[in-house]
Structure 1
Amino acid sequence: MNVTEFRSGLRDWLDRNDLAPGPDHSLDGQVAQLARVRRALYEAGWMRYGWPPAIGGFGGPAVLRAVLGEEVATRDLAEPGIYSMIEVLAPTLISYAPPALAAEMVPRLLNGSEQWCQGFSEPGSGSDLASLTTRAVPRGDNWVITGQKVWTSLAQYAARCVMLTRTAPGHGGITAFLVDMDTPGITVRPLRTMHGVDEFAEVFFDDVAVPGDRMLGRPGDGWQLAMDLLPHERSTCFWHRIAHLYTRLDRLLAETADPDDADLGAAYLALHTARCRSHATQRRLADGAHLGPETSVDKVLLATAEQRLFDTARDLLPGVMELTDSPWRTEFLYSRAATIYGGTAEIQRNIIARRLLGLGKD
């Protein structure tokens, strides 16, 4: 099925099947809605396009998944950030897990029966991922994990965690596991952000025994897994996010008293630039290219566009951000994190300077 046929058929199906969220806009409600949407799309087959048959997919180019996420975001059927986590974690399992484990687990993520989380950041190693200290030591057929993760999205809802551990010194001493979150020794504590949502959590691992066959790749493959995973955060996920931001621009145009304001044009231009860049990344994925440090450009452009859009909304809707409890306020506050999550803007610019422009360390 080509992209045009896929989009047309999907839109027709969505028009005939009401997946609109209910009145509960809490985080609990958003996670329940996400499961509902994934389940319906999987049962109808749409969620299976673009994924390999080995994990229950129908095959076809990955761009079909981007189209699906774009339609979900444009119709506000699910919060785009938590919907898009599938585009980070499923490819990682497919690439690094034993084939039987991937075939067993990935459909559970696709069909909405499970939510997963990603255990990378630690209190002392956020953007400096190589400094992580959560350790895993062998014990018989198991590995025993001890340490702490933080800023772990939706950990309180997650059945599994794709996590990085320290098994030896240096970059070659980082090893990844797929950990069941109901394993004894795991404690999850949600963190309240300034936009009033417990989206993140800190997770403590106290002598958590993980079977050896839950290792992703081999001992020491964790750094390469992370380098493969992080560009996925900045590819199809960003395409979904940009589609969502366009809906907010449309809403701002409908609500402002001055739709000809020049700042609106600047916000549109920033979004359009990010979309053009993301479109180029989608083409590279479709061609089977390996994504790497160039996706840091995508990250900088998206963060800039998101903050510009909500800054413009603040300026054109006087008092709405400051004096009301509207969705605009929540999304404005969340946009402040756009230059932090997924790697800070400073780190991304360093990557661009050193790895793309060859400017060295000075």
Structure 2
Amino acid sequence: MTDLFEPATFRTALRAWLDENDLTPPDDHSLDAHQAQHSRVLRALYDADWMRYGWPVEAGGLGGPMILRAIVGEEIVGRRLDEPGPYSMLEVLTPTMIDYAAPELTAEMVPRLLSGQETWCQGFSEPGSGSDLASLTTRAVLDPESAGNRWIINGQKVWTSFAQYSHRCILLTRTGDADTPNHQAITAFFVDVDTPGITVRPLQTMHGVDEFCEVYFDDVVVDSSRMLGKPGDGWRLAMDLLPYERSTCFWQRIAYLYSRLDALVDAVKTELGPAADADLGAAYLALHTLRCRSRDTQHRLAAGQKLGPDTSIDKVLLAGAEQQLYDTVRDLLPGAVELEDTEWRTEYLYSRAASIYGGTAEVQRNIIARRLLDLGKE
């Protein structure tokens, strides 16, 4: 096992295993099929231990450097065995559970996520609280009849990815009174989505995939043991989670984008000319710059450094590279986006959101300017 902790050895062994085990997805591009394939792939990887490397033993893992998790994601998504959206939730939500949940809850729940037995979602954004997360209004109050053992939650979340498939939700609520400062009044819970009072409604999007949902909470009762951290720790949890959402979960998405660049090259290789060469070269350069930055982030995390506002750079580079790639598709494959019902069209439309999801490009640039470059608020 120790030899497998060396990244190059690990990648070679994983590739050999993938070559010997057929995880080819069905020829079905529906969201239902993607979710079924996601669970299938994780189950196979977990049973063969690949999904356990890089995670701590107390969470059901086998230990080893965190970069091993990135290698698994890159190989799986780069081969198109799983989609980057569902897979990315592992790198966003699992570290949060490990850092904030009670040890016994972590030990019970994390293996369910890593093995594909369950899907989880993230209940942060609200109709009036997107970029201004501190203004959220979903409220949790102690049940006066529970002797402090239960909370009652009311409110609404939106843009909740894969909520219709999720078994659990990491949920931010407001628990302080009127005099509590916004950042100190937020508390996180780990909520079962099948709890009475929770309603999930998928949202129709322009790219035709109902990935996002509205989630309503009407007198939802949650046990105090499901609180993540202490009352008022929700803002700190969010600030710890968001850097993962803006960095490490991109490693597999970058592999996916490289695979789509290869597909584009194959589609136009008989028609390549100087202009097409330049466009493809620019798209490749944007992706390579993003991957170099992401690699640096992976190694900083593996070295024990804490991720923070610097991950806004990763997010800006991702949005730019993804949109540039699909702009190149539109330019080099006339009609494939505008006139044909193809994967290219769906992915082009989805790429328009790359500068919005996970924090808008404008917000990320403000973070870079104020917190990294110390340029002030103006």
User: Same fold, TM exceeding 0.5?
Assistant: yes
1:347 is aligned to 2:351: no
What CA deviation, in whole Å up to 9, does each residue of 1:263-297 have, x standing for no partner?
Answer: 11111111111111111101101101000000000
Q: Equivalent of 1:324, from 329, 340, 352?
A: 340
- 1:19-69 Cα offsets, whole Å, 9 max, x none, are 010122200000000000000000000000000010110000110000000
Change (3 A) 1:217 1:265: same
**Where do 1:147-226 residues align within 5 Å?**
147-168=155-176, 169=180, 170-226=182-238
1:281 aligns with 297
Residues 226-252 of structure 1, C-alpha deviations (whole Å, 9 max, x = no match): 010011112221111111100111111
Decide whether the 8 Å contact of 1:187 with 1:203 is kept in 2: yes
Q: Give the unaligned 5+ runs of structure 2.
A: none
Q: Which region of structure 1 is more displaced relative to structure 2, 263-272 or 176-185?
A: 263-272
Runs of 4+ deviating beyond 4 Å: none
Give the aligned partner of residue 43 of structure 1: 47
Code of the aligned partner of 2:341: D
SS at match of 2:358: coil
Name the CA shift for 1:259/1:199 in 2 (closer, same or farther; >3 Å).
farther
What letter corresponds to residue 120 of structure 2 in structure 1? Answer: W
1:90 aligns to 2:109 (yes or no) = no
Letter in structure 2 aligned against 1:78: D
SS at match of 1:136: strand
Structure 1 residues 22-33: aligned runs within 5 Å:
22-33=26-37
Contact 1:134 1:146 in 2 (8 A): yes
Q: Deviations over 1:89-132 (max 9, x none)?
A: 11100000000000000000000000000000000011111110
Closer, same or farther in 2 for the Cα pair 1:43/1:316, shift >3 Å? same
Aligned equivalents of 1:43, 1:192: Cα separation in 2: 35
Distance 1:14 1:361 in 2: 50
Aligned equivalent of 1:314? 330
Cα separation, partners in 2 of 1:166 and 1:3, compared to 1, 3 Å: same
**2:154 & 2:301 partners in 1: Cα distance?**
36
DSSP 3-state at the match of 1:188: strand
Q: Within 5 A, what are the aligned runs for 1:116-127?
A: 116-127=120-131
Alpha-carbon offset, residue 333 of structure 1: 0.4
Q: Secondary structure at the match of 1:322?
A: coil
SS of 2:187's partner is strand
Structure 2 residue aligned with 1:248: 260
Identify which of 255, 258, 261 aligns with 2:272: 258
Per-residue Cα deviation, 1:159-178 (whole angstroms, up to 9, x for no partner): 00001000114101100000
Alpha-carbon RMSD? 0.8
The question of whether the paired residues in 2 share the 8 Å contact of 1:48 and 1:56 is answered with yes
What TM-score, normalized to structure 1?
A: 0.99
SS of the residue corresponding to residue 360 of structure 1 reads coil
**Alignment pair present for 1:112 and 2:105:** no
**What letter is aligned with 1:206?**
D
Q: Distance in 1 between matches of 2:8 and 2:128?
A: 47
Checking the alignment, whether the CA contact within 8 Å between 1:81 and 1:237 is kept in structure 2 is no
* Alpha-carbon contact 1:178-1:215 (below 8 Å) kept: yes
TM-score (norm 2): 0.95
The structure 1 residue matched to 2:249, chosen from 215, 231, 237, is: 237
Q: Distance in 2 between matches of 1:330 and 1:200?
A: 15
Cα separation, partners in 2 of 1:197 and 1:259, compared to 1, 3 Å? farther
User: CA 1:172–1:336 in 2, change beyond 3 Å: closer, same or farther?
Assistant: same
1:333 is aligned, of 323, 331, 349, to: 349
Secondary structure of 2:151's match? strand
Which string of whole-angstrom CA distances, capped at 9 and with x for unpartnered residues, describes residues 183-222 of structure 1? 0000000001100011010000001000000000000000
Change (3 A) 1:313 1:2: same
> Helix, strand or coil: the match of 1:323?
coil
How many Å separate the matches in 1 of 2:159 and 2:246? 18
1:259 shift after superposition: 5.9
8 Å CA contact 1:135–1:165 kept in 2: the answer is: yes
Q: In structure 1, what is the Cα distance between the partners aligned to 2:204 and 2:221?
A: 29
CA distance in 1, matches of 2:59, 2:239: 23
Pair 1:137 & 2:121 matched: no
What is the CA–CA distance in structure 2 between the aligned matches of 1:324 and 1:196, rounded to whole Å? 14
Amino acid at match of 1:145: I
